[in-house]
A and B are shown apart, each in its own frame.
Chain A
């Protein structure tokens, strides 16, 4: 049996399916009216929003640092937090939405694999950056909003750094499990990408 001989079989099968199928037009109209978002596009959208939020967080840190520019114990850490957020934004600047319409299958799949590899690789840094940002911004907020001085009141200083220490220990303790998950995702995405490249070259 030749593949070309089966074209006729294929078309007959398709016609037969068409004759027994009708469309649930109401459901299609509902989908369009609700403007439901594609799940994958939504996930990428969240990542892109997250990347842009890093700029906003950077702005918050810079603004707070500026308001206490003369108190270096507060402003310098806040600038460090802002720099960390800027670093995060730059790391994620390559993120772009895949286009199911214009991209061919292999380009799209490469884009998705690279996106997943990127998020798995950067996940480790992102968690640390958020932690740095919170730790560097909290003293200023406590000082400005609640009149709690971390650096002049020993009790506040001990409480704050005890909390930071506790969170750091928890992060270290659980990072093994989290890192393992990211590493597994990274390996899976690398395999996916390799498969595409092999298919392309073969």
Chain B
């Protein structure tokens, strides 16, 4: 869905393989529409829709308090929207979303100035949940334990862990986090070892209890 946007902004740099998108882009150009038209807004909402699951997970990983969560949601949306204006298309859209979402979440988590400067709370969330029951109830035990394990990690290891679970390559994780590929490998191996110990520890506890 974002390809026409890229085409409009970088028509000399990118080519489109799909005739439909090319036609759509041409039509938009003919209508003299630019990036900040309602169509771009719709496309932005579509991007958010397609990635609502991971955004929800990242936000909930870094923020436990409900009001803080709404605040973080807003920060992420604003930063995604603003950075869309400078999105060059030289990285994958999903990588761009991870980058912005983690950058904002980690900043928020590290108790930086934005949290201290909080003056009012927002009452509206960007997410509507159709079922307000405890989400954990529907999920299997491993999923709950995995989340508990993630929450035990510091803010940077959480990011690496989530990106790994999202099946990103070491190269992509290195690019988003800002460490070398070999360092990503070392840290993931450590996390694997820690996870094993965590599950072994739980097993032992359940035997004794």
Which A residues have a C-beta under 8 Å from some C-beta of B?
1-3, 6-7, 9-18, 20-25, 27-29, 31-32, 36-41, 43, 99-109, 112, 116, 192, 195-196, 199-200
Contact = CB atoms under 8 A, between A and B. Distances in A.
Contacts of B83: 99-101
A105 B126 contact: no
A101 B129 CA distance: 28
Nearest to A16: B138
B165 interface: yes
A21 B167 CA distance: 22
B118 A39 contact: yes
Contacts of B102: 105
B81 interface: yes
Contacts of B107: 40, 100, 108-109, 112
A25 B143 contact: no
A23 B52 contact: yes
Nearest to B54: A14
Contact of B117 (A28, A36, A43, A192): A43
B126 A112 contact: no
Nearest to B195: A3
B28 to A, nearest CB: 19
Interface string B63-100: 00000000100110111011100110000000010011
A25 B97 CA distance: 18
Contacts of A103: 103, 178
B104 A100 contact: yes
Interface string B132-167: 000100111011001000000010100100001111
A105 B106 contact: yes
B56 interface: yes
A41 B120 CA distance: 17
A36 B78 contact: yes
Contacts of B196: 1-2
B96 to A, nearest CB: 7
B84 to A, nearest CB: 9
Given A2-B196, A106-B177, A109-B107, A23 B128 contact: yes
Interface in B35-82: 41, 44-45, 48-49, 52-54, 56-57, 71, 74-75, 77-79, 81-82
A17 B156 CA distance: 24
B125 interface: yes
Interface residues of B, number: 69
A21 B103 contact: no
Contacts of B33: none
A24 B128 contact: yes
A104 B99 contact: yes
A171 B166 CA distance: 54
Contacts of B127: 21-24
B112 A22 contact: no
A14 B60 CA distance: 12
A4 B79 CA distance: 32
Contacts of A192: 110
B192 interface: yes
Contacts of B156: 105-106, 196, 199
Contact of A3 (B57, B104, B178, B192): B192
B24 interface: no
B106 A39 contact: no
9 contacts: A16-B135, A21-B127, A24-B127, A31-B77, A31-B78, A39-B118, A43-B117, A104-B177, A105-B159
B21 interface: no
Contact of A21 (B53, B81, B146, B183): B53
A102 B178 CA distance: 11
